[in-house]
Amino acid sequence: MRGRDRNRWVAWVLGGAVAAQGLMLLYLGQLGGRVAVQTILVFVALGLLTHQAWVYRGQLTHRVDMILVMLALGGLGMIIGWWIDFGWQPAPGWMRLGQANPHPWSFWSKVWSWMTALMLLGAIPPSLVWTRCARMARLDRRRWVSTHVIGNAAMVAGMIWTNRWIGRALGQLAGSLVVGAHTAMLAGMVIGMAGGMWVGEAVLGLRPWREGPVPLEDDGD
């Protein structure tokens, strides 16, 4: 497959993965009515935005590659893992109804979960092949550590803590605690990964947010 054809194919895969998260939220949250419609519309719109961002990523910072893959395939893996954690059932009743969690909150129970495992499984392999960040990391051991170790660890932490801090508030705005929690985790993934990579590069003596164009790999005819 030629570089440009592959680029368009990947764009549709990523956009579709984002839109599919909206469908999964309908099931997990048992959504209906206005909340269901607005959830689907928002995630379809985000899928189209993801598609366009990937197509034109050559005009954007190389960091956008990793962010798009993490949000699309990492986010889809995360919500499928969430479904497994729920016992292949919709979210528990207390969560769908926005009630208080009857179980004590535990950071490590979120780390060692199918939700986190499938998020990483969905995000990391494609990012190693498709992103400019990974391509740069292969050329420098320090950048490899900042991208794949510090960045991924910070992404997991950001996903969990952002949901802890603002998931319920977003759920009230969205009309569903399930939608709010998933949205908060997606935001936390981006904040954690971007912040972790920046800090990692600075600590390891690299220039954070390196400027200058990074050519797309195999993107010609």
Burial category of 150 from C-beta neighbours within 10 Å (exposed 0-12, middle 13-18, buried 19 and up): buried
Kindly indicate the confidence band of residue 58, based on its pLDDT and cuts at 50, 70 and 90: confident
| CA dihedral angle for residue 59, residue 64, residue 69, residue 75, rounded to 10 degrees | -130
**What is the model's pLDDT at position 49?**
97
Q: Where in the chain are the domains?
A: 3-203
Lowest mean pLDDT among 14-23, 40-49, 50-59: 50-59
**pLDDT top residue among 197 and 12:** 12
**What is the model's pLDDT at position 93?**
85
CA atoms within 13 A on the CB side of 124: 15
Q: Which of 29, 27, 19, 17 is nearest to 179 (CA)?
A: 29
Structure confidence by residue, pLDDT tens digits, 85-131? 999 999 998 887 777 788 888 999 999 999 999 999 999 999 999 99
